[in-house]
Amino acid sequence: MINPLPLCVFMLTLSGCTTAQEATDIAFLLDGSGSVTADQFTTMKTFVKNVTSALLEFDTLFAFVQYSTETTIHVNFAQFNRTGFENQVDDIIQTNRGTNTASGIRTVVEDVFNSSAGARPEANRILIVITDGQSSDASLYPTVTSLADGKNITRYAIGVGNAFSIPSALDELNSIASPPESDHVFRVDSFKALDLIATELEMSIIPTADVVVGMRLRVSSTKSLNETEIEEQVLKPFADKLRDQGITVAGIELRRVYTVEP
């Protein structure tokens, strides 16, 4: 029994039940060099479409970039078309020239993860590089991966062709990917990369905090009330009054009772 009850503190929970999700910007960088066969390039594009379509339900934006000797930004985050992305990927024609993978990564880090290209400053950033792993500018990997780290870009390396049978190619995938390699290096025909990214995105869905209002209520009553009675006789009628005013009150609960002498 709480007796006397000069002052009580309770919490109101208003509205609620919505969820929010962290935004994520995902850039794909495709190896369009001549060492990649036309079939392999088609498989790369299928992979890009599969991953994009599986992650559309999240708060995601995508960019599609191809590199060979030069790098071409086909679709940046601002140009990404949620309903027409399959056409956007299908429209990418393989360049078939040299293999400047590190330079391609630099272009994505500087020009695609850039607010002028529609990148969202508060978004998580993911770069997915799809390659056979035999570049001509491998000496630049430390420089470009540290640029990417400076922008908190998580890097996945997806191997096609002989990427896993030629040791130097596998080394390149490992140099491109964020550590640990076991979580960030995959074959293009594996669904593990997609599963891992989807799991990460699912974990970033957070319920919006209810608006919690704390109030102090001075009760001038000589009656002694237990906690159930306070809820029934004081708080619920108060919540009903708020509802009458058009305020959505999801719940009301007594958090703490101070028995301060008046």
Task: Please tell me the distance from the alpha carbon of residue 24 to that of residue 47, in angstroms, as a whole number.
Answer: 19
Question: Per DSSP, which regions of 196-243 are E strands?
Answer: 205-207, 211-218
Binding site partner of 46, from Mg ion, ligand NAG, none, Cβ cut-off 5-8 A by kind: ligand NAG
Give Cα 241 to chain centroid, integer Å: 41
The distance of closest approach from Cβ of residue 21 to ligand NAG in the complex, given in angstroms and rounded to an integer, is: 18
Residues forming the site for Mg ion (CB under 5 A): 33, 35, 99
Residue 163: both structure tokens together: 């990427």
The residue count for binding ligand NAG (CB under 6 A) is 20
| Terminal-to-terminal C-alpha distance of the chain | 18
- Minimum Å distance from CB 16 to ligand NAG? 26
Residue 34 CB, nearest distance to Mg ion (Å)? 6
E strand segments, the chain: 7-14, 19-21, 24-31, 60-67, 71-75, 124-131, 153-159, 185-187, 205-207, 211-218, 249-258
Amino acid identity of residue 124, one-letter, is: N
Q: How many Å apart are CA 148 and CA 154, to the nearest integer?
A: 8
Q: Which is nearer to ligand NAG, 165 or 228 (CB)?
A: 228
Give the span between the Cα atoms of 152 and 67, in whole angstroms.
Answer: 22
Site for ligand NAG in 216-245 (CB under 6 A): 226-229
Contact status: 152 vs ligand NAG (CB under 6 A): yes
Residues 242-261: x where in contact with ligand NAG by CB under 6 A, - otherwise, as a string: --------------------
Nearer to Mg ion, 104 or 249 (CB): 104
Positions in 155-214 near ligand NAG (CB under 6 A): 188-189
Nearer to ligand NAG, 114 or 136 (CB): 114
Identify the H or E element spanning 1: none
Taking CB under 6 A as the binding criterion, the range among 43-51, 155-163, 178-186, 212-220 that sits at the site for ligand NAG is: 43-51
What letter would DSSP give residue 179?
Answer: S
- Report how far residue 207's alpha carbon sits from residue 167's, in angstroms, rounded to the nearest whole number: 45
For ligand NAG, the closer CB: 123 or 249? 123
CA distance 7 to 262: 8
Task: Name which position in 6, 34, 84, 251 contacts ligand NAG (CB under 6 A).
Answer: 84
189 versus 240: smaller Cβ distance to ligand NAG:
189
Partner interacting with residue 83 (select from Mg ion, ligand NAG, none; CB below 5-8 Å by kind): ligand NAG
Nearest to 101, CA basis, from 63, 73, 139: 139
**Chain residues that interact with ligand NAG, rule: CB under 6 A:** 43, 46-47, 50, 81, 83-84, 87, 110-111, 114, 116, 151-152, 188-189, 226-229
